Structure 1
Amino acid sequence: MRTAGILLVGWAALGLTVLMLPGLTADNGWSVLVAAVLLGLFGVVIRPALAGLMAWIGWAGVLAGWLLAQAALVYLAFAITPGIRVDGFWTAFWASWIYSILISVALWVVTAGRSEAVTNHLLWVNRRFRDKVPATDVPGVVFVQIDGLSAPLARWALDTGNLPTLGRWLREGSHSLTEWHARLPATTPASQAGLLHGGSDHVPAFRWYEKESGRLVVTNQPADAALVETRLSDGNGLLADGGVSLSNVFSGDAPTSLLTMSTARAGRGPARYLSAYLLDPFGLTRSLVLTVGEIVKELYQARRQRLHRVEPRIRREPSYVLLRGVTNVLLRHLNLAVLAEHLMRGTPSMYCDFVDYDEIAHHAGPARPEALAALEGIDSVLANLEEVARSAPRPYKFVILSDHGQSQGATFRQRFGVGLEDLVRGDVELATDNEQAGRAATLKASLLPSSASSPSSPSSPSSAEEVPGAPEFVVVASGNLGLVYLARQPGRLTMEEIEKHAPGLIDRLASHPGVGWVMVRSATDGPIVLGGSGRRLLDGDAVTGADPLEGFGSWAADDLRRHDGLAHTPDILVNSLYDPETGEVAAFEELVGCHGGLGGWQDRPVLIHPREWTITGTPESSDAVHAILKSWLDLIRTG
């Protein structure tokens, strides 16, 4: 029945193509039907081989396959069909695009809003695994990360119906919801270092400066992510036992790693999956129609915020408009396609990061309608995965978790007309490589062959010498957390040394109304947190004046004690203001929703897990959650 329906749609679309395009004629409708049947057969027999060939070639092959492969199949079908005449390959090329667009629109109209249509297609394209993969009673586990979703907002979205699949799981009693604490810095690389490897101590921020090498490490760049993973991996990560890492920062030591930043430059890219997806008319349907729809929706929503004078808000750059279409449509559906294939392969464990919500929340706000709509889209993916899993060769458990939350607020620059770098030194550039650009770089690096693993670093100077050629200051931001390095001075400087080399800098930062606190290390008193009207010694918790950590949560002091002991902790750690009345912070980046520091919901991620797998208390870190996840995997594998 499904095949007959697709054939009818293809027949109609091909007939309209013949009517619309000069240089293409058919004697009658039966000739068009024969051509449509041939195209269907070519799709089953030839298209998989073409996808594999294009993937083997690499990025250029994927592009060529998307642009030319369908045209070649159309040209071949026309050439051998009696009664159809085509004036050369380029006529067939334009015919293939018109045909693809028409069939895409038709299939979208037929299947819109029906998750079972998507599921049936995923089962059909993975039908070859049904007889090849032996069945087993040992469960597998699918870890789905909803990037940036805080536990309080998750509960609210469940109440408002934005997460119907998760709501059903919780109401039916199959799953439980637990909140956990993301230690400073509350950001994806730090949390995934813990969740996937148990090594969050290796990541002091989203981006940081390493004085000994003179290198700025930005964890959403593949080379830097690969460098960091070499430091934190012990070969026994969460996915080491035959798992798949998909769209993550780190691999979890998975033998199959796709669209993962740390492995993107190692030749382990998603070219086969992407080429197969783009050569699939159903994949093209969703890519073309929904990507355009997502871009139009973004333009409308941004305009609506301006007209209604919604505050806080930021200007949404044209690059973000395009990237939203890519991440919220192409990447989401590609993730779904890859996960569905590995479900049908019986892969024992999978971990995939869906970034849709986090991307929109950064630019629109974490609780705004467009961000909540992104949550609904991810929830629909869960419904598809649940349905596909019923046909898999093993039973599957689903664990849904986030890596951090988000806090909202007007940015530091919007509030005060200056940036953090201006407070330190007016001509310093703030390093703010955004997460969207990093994810685009990951996709590119995954498809481009490269033998390079990371750039070389200069030799380290003596700890007693000034670093030659280094800038005076390096200022970097991770949400509302700022890191200030006196880059010419080797090693981490004490408060007394900072005052010697940059008199008044600490006081200028600590007393600014946009700064909640700064942390420095004293040669005599150890780590100190300074505010505009008080200080707190972390060793002994002695407070003088107003406690600068008041309102930042019960975990704040412990988080800062830990952060004080990390490698590459800056000379001065700066956190923005936090308004407990509104729950708002002030990002040092131009983002209305942010995370990375302290204040608000950004350090309150969520964990939704099978109810039979119990958790005692509140997990206090991503490393603690890693230990829990590993214990669950060990439990099902040992019976």
Structure 2
Amino acid sequence: MVGGRSAAGHHPAGMACGRRHEPTLARMMRALVTVVVGAVVTGVVIGLLPGITADGPWAVPAVAIVLGVFAAVLRPLLVTLLSAIGWPGVVAGWIVVQSLLVWVALQVTPGIHVDGFWPAFWASWLGAILMTIGLWLVTAGQQGVATRHLLRVNRRFRRSVPPTTVPGVIMIQIDGLSAPLARWAIEAGNLPTIGRWLRSGSHTLTKWHARMPATTPASQAGLLHGASDRVPAFRWYEKPAGRLVVTNHPADSALVESRLSDGRGLLADGGVSVSNVFSGDASTSLFTMSTLRGRRPGPARYLSAYLLDPFGLTRSLVLAAGEIVKELHQARRQRLRQVEPRMHRDWRYVLLRGATNVLLRNLNLTVIAEQIMRGAPTVFCDLVDYDEIAHHAGPARPEALASLDGIDGVLAVLEEVAAAAPRPYRFVVLSDHGQSQGATFRQRYGLTLEDLLAGELPGEDLVVAAGGNLALVYFPRLPGRATVEELEQRFPQLLPALTGHPGIGWVMVRSGRDGPVVLGRDGRRRLRDDHVDGADPLAGFGPHAADDLRRHDSLDHTGDLVINSLWDPVAGEVAAFEELIGCHGGLGGAQERPVLIHPRDFAVPGPLTGADAVYRVLCGWLEQTGCRTPRSLIRRG
């Protein structure tokens, strides 16, 4: 069924359309609950803080009502004014705007007495924290609260944006989610919204193969630009320029996108990129790494509104604090239960989890909801919550799976917001790669890959660019690609030391005579014709391994040595060259098997190998819906 609602009030077919009209009684009950919670919070704040008194109990709900009216009337005006001032105005406004509103409300409400501004300042912050907790407890974290808030703050678009019947497409990337784990999470109830779509028959689940390197930059170069062959790893060294490129640095990602873009990326024709590495040639690019440096210095209005709204940043900070407490408990539980493999989760990750799992997720939700209400034809957003937790806790661990509940909540809210949008929307959910688990190389052997190489090459100048369980090794003083013959002559013990190490699965190197060859402990594979001497070093690494390595050998700036860690098919584990329990980038395990969940009437023409193939399918779907102009028509025009 396309359009329409299920008995539960949802749109089961990936197309949400029409405008929601909430019953008057429901609105009145919601307002009453808010007033009651506000009155209770106000009473607690007045009772706890010195400098604020009330003549009687009747004054407490009165000030709560006055504050609510002031906030509804004055805050939008203040957001506009402070946004015009710029970042100083927005930051200062976030600190004092709510305090000013509280102070004025306390001043004008009969029966309330306040001794100056500072009691009101502290009352505003304590009240915001208690109000967040109180509403969460009363609503039990129901998504409808967030939906109503987003519809309210974007109500101007409901009046000003003309409706259309041309469907838009919302593409949400769940970073790092493998197809096997996605199926498991659906069955376990961690992804109930996606599960409902699949059970209703509106959507179907397709797995695809992420070619090596299975990283976000490489996959997004393919998904958003159809050019994954321009990204050989998460980080790599470019010999001609003597430069290390790291794709999560804005300057480097902008450089790489300049090589990818032909002006016809996935999000051309008015699309929106949110929190991605590359923009896909979107006309609107928000929190996207490759376009950060080119942004105007002032804050956009949507960001100002988020910062100045108590339901925005202040609420998110409270929830982020809760996420931090949860992380401390879960890390301690892993230690007490002696879960293996595990890693030390230091304070930097603790703060990062709060930022990604709450602050960034809520900000992304706010931004996407606004773009939906503006009627954007296409939106592509990368949600990194699961990937970040899976790196540190393990991809199948309870805390990683629990993060999928929050991502599913985002999908549920967006589905409801889209029901009130000026156009119908189709939802596509996909991942860029999976993750594989295992104790790290250093945990297993007491040294890093760099230490192992330095032991064989004392004093030698080399660059090791590791990402997950894949490492590219460069010899900067040797021009071009170093050959196996040259390395055997210069460093005769190097390749035997690497291939003989138990933590190394295979090493790929170029031969001047035979082209690319893969070396293992007990054998050698010539990729030109797949001739194997001894034991095949790629045995067990999957049916795509040889093709992936042939392709990787042809990429610009690949390493002189391409090194993959061990893959233990019995334990299902790899050994990351970084200090990450869950990793991706090389071969072995579920890291190569991302997922694509799409409306059933969006056809997939056969197996999908590589992100470029997924890009072509996505472009076809956008052309099918009318959101994208086919290349043939552009050339003809």
Q: Same fold (TM over 0.5)?
A: yes
Q: For 1:84-233, what aligned pairs fall within 5 Å after superposition?
A: 84-233=112-261
Q: Per-residue displacement from partner, 1:576-602 (whole Å, max 9, x unpaired)?
A: 000111211000001110000000010
CA gap of 1:69–1:393, structure 2 versus 1, over 3 A, is same
Judged with a 3 Å threshold, the aligned counterparts in structure 2 of structure 1 residues 80 and 501 are, in CA distance, closer, same or farther, namely farther
Q: In the aligned structure 2, how far is the partner of 1:634 from the partner of 1:426? A: 55
> Which of residues 366, 384, 392 is equivalent to 2:421?
392
Distance in 2 of aligned mates of 1:219 and 1:349: 24
Cα distance change on mapping 1:49 and 1:426 into 2, 3 Å: farther
Aligned AA (2:311): F
> Equivalent residue for 2:341?
312
- 2:484 is the counterpart of 1:495: yes
Q: Which runs of 5+ in 1 are unaligned?
A: 430-469
Q: Determine if contact 1:428/1:475 at 8 Å carries over to the other structure.
A: no
1:16 Cα deviation from its structure 2 partner = 2.5
CA distance in 2, matches of 1:535, 1:471: 26
SS at match of 1:266: coil
2:469 corresponds, among 480, 484, 489, to 480
Q: What is the CA–CA distance in structure 1 between the aligned matches of 2:237 and 2:172, rounded to whole Å? A: 31
- Say whether the 8 Å CA contact 1:149–1:357 is kept in structure 2: yes
Q: Secondary structure at the match of 2:614?
A: helix
Of 339, 346, 357, 1:328 maps to: 357
Corresponding residue for residue 567 of structure 2: 578
What's the secondary structure of 1:138's corresponding residue? Answer: coil
The letter of the residue matching 1:309 is Q
**Contact 2:466/2:577, CA 8 A, preserved across alignment:** yes
Alignment-mate amino acid for residue 597 of structure 1:
G
> How far apart are residue 484 of structure 1 and its match?
0.7
Deviation at 1:35, TM superposition (A): 3.5
Shift of 1:19: 2.3
What is the rounded CA distance, in whole Å, between the counterparts of 1:54 and 1:213 in structure 2? Answer: 44
1:121 Cα shift?
1.8
**1:222·1:262 contact (CA, 8 Å) conserved in 2?**
yes
**Matching residue's letter, 1:381:** V
Residues 327-362 of structure 1 show CA distances to partners (whole Å, capped at 9, x for unaligned) of 111111111111111111111110111111111111
**Match runs of 1:24-103 below 5 Å:** 24-56=52-84, 59-103=87-131
> Structure 1 residue aligned with 2:403, among 368, 374, 387?
374
User: Is residue 313–residue 359 contact of structure 2 (8 Å, CA) maintained in 1?
Assistant: no
CA drift at 1:213: 1.6
Match of 1:8 among 26, 33, 36: 36
Aligned 8 A contact 1:59 1:271 in 2: no
Find 1:563's aligned residue among 552, 558, 571.
552
**Partners of 2:279 and 2:249 in 1: how far apart?**
14
Q: Match of 1:551?
A: 540
Residue 539 of structure 1 aligns to a residue whose secondary structure is coil
The one-letter code of the counterpart of 2:608 is P
Between the aligned partners of 1:55 and 1:474, the Cα distance in structure 2 is: 45
Amino acid at match of 2:269: D
**1:604-615 map, 5 Å:** 604-615=593-604
Alpha-carbon separation, structure 2, partners of 1:224 and 1:570: 18
Distance in 2, matches of 1:39 and 1:397, equals 39
> Which residue matches 2:326?
297
Match of 1:523 among 509, 512, 523: 512
SS of equivalent residue, structure 1 residue 46: helix
**CA-CA distance at 1:559 after TM superposition:** 0.6
Report if aligned partners of 2:220, 2:432 keep a CA contact under 8 Å in 1: yes
Contact 1:240 1:255 in 2 (8 A): yes
1:265 paired to 2:265? no
Instruction: Tell me, in whole angstroms, the C-alpha distance in 1 between the residues paired with 2:624 and 2:102.
Output: 52
Amino acid at match of 1:224: D
Deviations along 1:283-319, one digit per CA (max 9) or x if unpaired, are 3564133212211111111111111111111111111
Contact 1:519/1:572, CA 8 A, preserved across alignment = yes
When normalised by structure 2's length, the TM-score is 0.90
Counterparts of 2:485 and 2:83, CA distance in 1:
57
2: distance between equivalents of 1:55 and 1:266? 19
Counterpart residue number, 2:606:
617
- What does the per-residue CA deviation read over 1:226-254, in whole Å, with 9 as the maximum and x for residues that have no partner? 11111101111111111111111111111
Which residue does 1:631 correspond to in 2? 620
Q: CA deviation at 1:528?
A: 0.7
Query: Which segments of 5 or more consecutive residues in structure 2 lack a partner in the other structure?
Result: 1-27, 629-637
SS of 1:93 mapped into structure 2: helix
Which amino acid in the other structure matches residue 114 of structure 1? Q
Q: CA RMSD in A?
A: 2.1
Return the alpha-carbon distance in structure 2 between the equivalents of residues 246 and 428 of structure 1: 44
Q: Name the counterpart of 1:457.
A: none
What displacement does 1:501 show? 4.0
Counterpart of 1:74 in structure 2: which amino acid? V
Check whether the contact 2:343–2:580 (CA below 8 A) recurs between aligned residues. Answer: yes
Larger displacement relative to structure 2 (219-228 or 470-479): 470-479
Query: Structure 1, residues 43-87: CA drift from partner, whole Å, max 9, x if none?
Result: 223223333444455554443232222112222333344443322
Deviates more, 1:155-164 or 1:495-504: 495-504
CA deviation profile, 1:520-549 (whole Å, cap 9, x unmatched): 101111111101111111111111111111
Amino acid at match of 1:411: T
Q: Given the superposition, is the C-alpha separation of residues 281 and 619 from structure 1 closer, same or farther in structure 2, using an over 3 Å criterion?
A: same
| Cα contact 1:481–1:575 (8 A) shared by 2 | yes
**Per-residue deviation, 1:323:** 0.9
1:454 corresponding residue in structure 2? none
Q: 1:236, 1:55 → 2: CA distance?
A: 33
- Indicate which of 494, 498, 503 corresponds to 1:514: 503
Matched, 1:534 2:523: yes
**1:394 Cα shift?**
0.7
How big is the shift at 1:32?
4.2
Task: Give the distance between the partners of 2:153 and 2:469, measured in 1 at CA.
Answer: 45
2:454 touches 2:460 (CA, 8 Å); kept in 1?
Answer: no
Of 581, 584, 589, the residue aligned with 1:600 is 589
Contact 2:90 2:308 in 1 (8 A): no
Letter in 2 for 1:157: A
Query: Partner amino acid for 1:263?
Result: T
Aligned residue for 2:381, secondary structure, equals: strand
The structure-2 alpha-carbon separation of the partners of 1:428 and 1:87, relative to structure 1 and needing over 3 Å to count, comes to farther
* Displacement after TM superposition at 1:185 (Å): 0.2
Classify the secondary structure of the residue corresponding to 1:512: coil
CA distance in 1, matches of 2:570, 2:133: 48
1:361-384 deviation line (CA, Å, top 9, x unaligned): 111111111111111111121111
Specify the alignment match of 2:371 in structure 1.
342
* AA aligned opposite 1:21: L
What TM-score, normalized by structure 1, do the two folds share?
0.90
Whether contact under 8 Å (1:421, 1:428) holds in the other structure is no
Code of the residue aligned with 2:618 in structure 1: it is L
3-state DSSP of counterpart to 1:602: helix
Q: Within the alignment, does 1:354 sit opposite 2:383 as a pair? A: yes
Contact 2:272 2:380 in 1 (8 A): yes
Corresponding residue pairs, total: 599
Matched residue type, 2:448: G
